């Protein structure tokens, strides 16, 4: 999504912005970088993807893990790019287009600043609340969006499921868009009077410069547990990457979960920096937290609790998403809103009014006598949280259908298998986006974790690689009072196998399986 109104940015201004480390060259002028006059070139937009170039764009030709964006410089020029930003490695291919070329050592590291410049620094004119953490980013962002609405704002939302600008909705390709898209989106939001946005900030975004040039009025930390160790070297490095969001350039105020051990470490880190004020919350009774959820009453569809905060605040609150972890998510949102200037009673009202989050603890009801739901738990911590909370409300048996994604963190697979076998009564291991990998190898690695659970304490484990069959099997075995959770894909609409995305929607498949069973039983 881009703004309708185009701003005209002379390339010479960019050269000044980037300073002496950037070389601006223009082959057509037959000049070296000292004498080149990029002033005549005007930029009206920016993209990092040659397939998305519009006339007047600055094409950021980035080095990637698969290819170099400079391989597509000719295609970008043909589509009307006005200039190219690249690194020394991409220079030759970029210069061959005869467009002006801006060369910097690491274009990703300046992409945020450059994109903000192209679109007139739209983020500076918005109220921005960013959420990071291993689990809960999407949920907290929906709760924040509802809170901003209650505060009278026309809110924006950017995250894993979708991007929402006023009434418009676009499905997301990434949790946090690349900087070029992000600043275009902010500018489009402002055009539609959306001036307060709740946004997810992934660790990939922080590592790859996607949020460069963006300062968050409030930055929220939910929790940290194992995920993405295909990308980060270890848990420490993963944590340090997330912690970047809480440094002065990125955050004005920090809101941190004190119940999480990495949250407590973050509080110390931010306090030691001395520049970003920290406010903490707890939903597990930590007396040192600034804000606490007390007297938590869990229900199968949501929870009620009392919010105790600074200045004698003590108010009743609720969240319409089940599980203790959603009380924590609700506290993150309430405190985040308060730090953004929303009165506490309005924040509480807004969070309570939030409808469900797509694919997160989403119930499927087709007239069956057991509880069926779809959830996006695809990491050990989330599986533990979800099965732990569902156990509390399960009268019969608790079943999970789960798999692990291909081409993603391999070391989390045994941990997910182990958590499922330890905490559920029945487990059906199946496929979840095998991508380029052999699905049976992925399941094999989950089974290694299953084997770690002592026989007497282990769930009944069945392997059914075909996800639709696995769901049908679990549905057929479910009895009255049982709870069945289909985990890992949540809102996703496809199963990625090699380079293909086959249509697949857990909610739909689950509902059909239930209807089939009920129809069979009727006959």
Ligand X SMILES: CC(=O)N[C@H]1[C@@H](OP(=O)(O)OP(=O)(O)OC[C@H]2O[C@@H](n3ccc(=O)[nH]c3=O)[C@H](O)[C@@H]2O)O[C@H](CO)[C@@H](O)[C@@H]1O[C@H](C)C(=O)N[C@@H](C)C(=O)N[C@H](CCC(=O)O)C(=O)O
Ligand Y SMILES: N[C@H](CCC[C@H](N)C(=O)O)C(=O)O
Binding of ligand ATP by 329 (CB under 6 A): yes
**Among 345, 348, 372, CA closest to 361:** 372
In this structure, what token pair is assigned to residue 136?
């809960």
Print the binding letters for residues 148-167 with ligand X: x by CB under 6 A, - otherwise.
------------x-------
> 188: which residues sit within 8 A by CB, 6+ positions away?
1, 2, 3, 4, 165
Binding of ligand ATP by 377 (CB under 6 A): yes
Place of tokens 């944590």: 239
Site for ligand ATP in 191-210 (CB under 6 A): 200
Please state, in angstroms and rounded to a whole number, the distance separating the CA atoms of residues 379 and 449.
13
**Among 304, 300, 423, CA closest to 365:** 300
With CB under 6 A as the contact rule, the residue among 15, 62, 224, 459 that binds ligand X is: 62
With CB under 5 A as the contact rule, the residue among 103, 132, 138, 389 that binds Mg ion is: 138
> 444: which residues sit within 8 A by CB, 6+ positions away?
none
Binding of ligand ATP by 241 (CB under 6 A): no
**Residue 292, contacted partner among ligand Y, Mg ion, ligand X, none, CB below 5-8 A by kind:** none
- CA 185 vs. chain centroid, Å, equals 16
Q: Which is nearer to ligand Y, 350 or 406 (CB)?
A: 406
Q: Which is nearer to ligand X, 49 or 469 (CB)?
A: 49
Please state, in angstroms and rounded to a whole number, the distance separating the CA atoms of residues 251 and 165.
23
Please state, in angstroms and rounded to a whole number, the distance separating the CA atoms of residues 166 and 196.
11
The size of the interface with Mg ion (CB under 5 A), counted in residues, is 4
**Residue 259, contacted partner among ligand X, ligand Y, Mg ion, none, CB below 5-8 A by kind:** none
Residue nearest ligand X (C-beta atom): 64
> Considering the complex, what minimum distance in angstroms separates the CB of residue 467 from ligand X?
20
176 known ligand binder: yes
Binding of ligand ATP by 385 (CB under 6 A): yes
- CA 481 vs. chain centroid, Å, equals 33
> Considering the complex, what minimum distance in angstroms separates the CB of residue 406 from ligand Y?
7
Place of tokens 């920290």: 278
> Considering the complex, what minimum distance in angstroms separates the CB of residue 489 from ligand Y?
5
With CB under 5 A as the contact rule, the residue among 160, 279, 283, 371 that binds Mg ion is: 160
Helix (H) or strand (E) holding 3: none
Site for ligand Y in 405-424 (CB under 6 A): 405, 408
Please state, in angstroms and rounded to a whole number, the distance separating the CA atoms of residues 477 and 458.
18
For the chain, give the number of residues. Answer: 523
3-class SS at 508?
A: helix
**Among 353, 354, 409, 350, CA closest to 382:** 409
Q: Which is nearer to ligand X, 141 or 279 (CB)?
A: 141
Q: Which is nearer to ligand Y, 413 or 458 (CB)?
A: 413
With CB under 6 A as the contact rule, the residue among 433, 445, 495, 507 that binds ligand Y is: 433
Helix (H) or strand (E) holding 505: none
User: Measured in Å, how far apart are the chain's first and last C-alpha atoms?
Assistant: 51
Print the binding letters for residues 130-149 with ligand X: x by CB under 6 A, - otherwise.
--------------------
- Per-residue DSSP letter, 6: P
Binding of ligand Y by 145 (CB under 6 A): no
Helices (H), ranges, 174-276: 179-191, 203-207, 235-243, 261-273
**Residue 325, contacted partner among Mg ion, ligand Y, ligand ATP, none, CB below 5-8 A by kind:** ligand ATP
Q: Which is nearer to Mg ion, 138 or 146 (CB)?
A: 138
> Considering the complex, what minimum distance in angstroms separates the CB of residue 386 from ligand ATP?
4
Binding of ligand Y by 184 (CB under 6 A): no
Please state, in angstroms and rounded to a whole number, the distance separating the CA atoms of residues 241 and 219.
14
Binding of ligand Y by 87 (CB under 6 A): no
492 known ligand binder: yes
> Considering the complex, what minimum distance in angstroms separates the CB of residue 164 from ligand X?
17
Print the binding letters for residues 137-176 with ligand ATP: x by CB under 6 A, - otherwise.
xxx--------------------x--------------x-
Q: What is the C-alpha R_g of the chain?
A: 25
- Burial of 44 per CB tally in 10 Å (0-12, 13-18, 19+): middle
Please state, in angstroms and rounded to a whole number, the distance separating the CA atoms of residues 319 and 329.
9
> 347: which residues sit within 8 A by CB, 6+ positions away?
147, 150, 151, 333, 334, 337, 338
3-class SS at 399?
A: strand
Binding of ligand ATP by 325 (CB under 6 A): yes
Q: Which is nearer to Mg ion, 204 or 264 (CB)?
A: 204
Q: Which stretch binds ligand X (CB under 6 A): 43-51, 235-243, 361-369, 393-401?
A: 43-51
With CB under 6 A as the contact rule, the residue among 115, 214, 223, 303 that binds ligand ATP is: 223
The residues binding ligand X (CB under 6 A) are 48-51, 62, 64-67, 69, 72, 160, 174-176, 178, 202, 204-205, 208, 231
Instruction: Output the known binding site for meso-2,6-diaminopimelate.
Output: 408, 432-435, 488, 492
The residues binding ligand Y (CB under 6 A) are 175, 378, 405, 408, 432-433, 488-489, 492
């Amino acid at each position: 999504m881009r703004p309708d109104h185009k701003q005209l940015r002379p390339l010479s201004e960019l050269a000044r912005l980037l300073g002496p480390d950037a070389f601006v060259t223009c082959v057509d002028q037959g000049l070296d970088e000292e004498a080149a006059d990029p002033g005549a070139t005007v930029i009206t937009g920016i993209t990092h993807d040659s397939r998305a170039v519009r006339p007047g764009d600055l094409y950021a030709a980035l080095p990637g893990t698969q290819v170099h964006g400079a391989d597509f410089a000719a295609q970008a020029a043909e589509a009307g790019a006005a200039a190219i930003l690249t690194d020394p490695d991409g220079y030759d291919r970029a210069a061959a287009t005869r467009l002006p070329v801006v060369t910097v050592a690491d274009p990703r590291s300046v992409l945020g600043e450059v994109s903000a410049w192209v679109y007139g620094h739209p983020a500076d004119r918005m109220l921005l609340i960013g959420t990071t953490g291993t689990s809960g980013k999407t949920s907290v962002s929906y709760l924040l969006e509802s809170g901003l609405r209650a505060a009278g704002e026309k809110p924006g939302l950017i995250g894993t499921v979708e991007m929402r600008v006023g009434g418009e909705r676009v499905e997301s390709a990434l949790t946090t868009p690349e900087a070029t898209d992000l600043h275009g989106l902010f500018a489009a939001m402002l055009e539609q009077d959306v001036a307060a946005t709740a946004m997810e900030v992934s660790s990939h975004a922080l590592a790859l410069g996607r949020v460069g040039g963006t300062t968050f009025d409030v930055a929220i930390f939910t929790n940290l547990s194992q995920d993405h160790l295909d990308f980060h070297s270890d848990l420490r490095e993963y944590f340090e990457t997330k912690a970047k969001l809480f440094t002065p350039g990125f955050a004005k105020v920090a809101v941190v979960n004190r119940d999480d051990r990495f949250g407590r470490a973050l509080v110390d880190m931010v306090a030691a920096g001395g520049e970003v004020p920290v406010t903490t919350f707890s939903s597990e009774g930590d007396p040192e937290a600034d804000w606490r959820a007390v007297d938590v009453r869990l229900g199968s569809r949501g929870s009620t609790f009392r919010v105790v905060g600074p200045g004698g605040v003590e108010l009743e609150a609720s969240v319409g998403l089940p599980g203790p972890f959603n009380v924590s998510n609700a506290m993150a949102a309430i405190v985040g809103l308060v730090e953004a200037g929303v009165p506490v009673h309005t924040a509480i009202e807004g969070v309570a009014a939030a409808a469900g989050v797509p694919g997160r603890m989403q119930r499927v009801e087709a007239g069956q006598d057991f509880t069926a739901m779809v959830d996006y738990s695809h990491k050990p911590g989330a599986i533990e949280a979800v099965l732990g909370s569902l156990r509390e409300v399960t009268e019969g048996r608790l079943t999970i259908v789960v798999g692990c994604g291909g081409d993603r963190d391999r070391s989390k697979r045994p941990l997910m298998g182990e958590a499922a076998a330890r905490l559920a009564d029945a487990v059906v291991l199946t496929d979840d986006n095998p991508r380029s990998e052999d699905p049976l190898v992925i399941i094999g690695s989950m089974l290694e974790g299953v084997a770690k659970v002592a026989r007497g304490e282990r769930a009944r484990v069945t392997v059914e690689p075909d996800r639709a069959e696995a769901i049908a099997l679990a549905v057929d075995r479910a009895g009255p009072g049982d709870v069945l959770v289909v985990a890992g894909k949540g809102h996703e609409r496809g199963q990625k196998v090699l380079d293909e995305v086959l249509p697949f929607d857990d909610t739909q498949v689950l509902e059909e399986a239930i209807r089939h069973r009920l129809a069979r039983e009727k006959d």
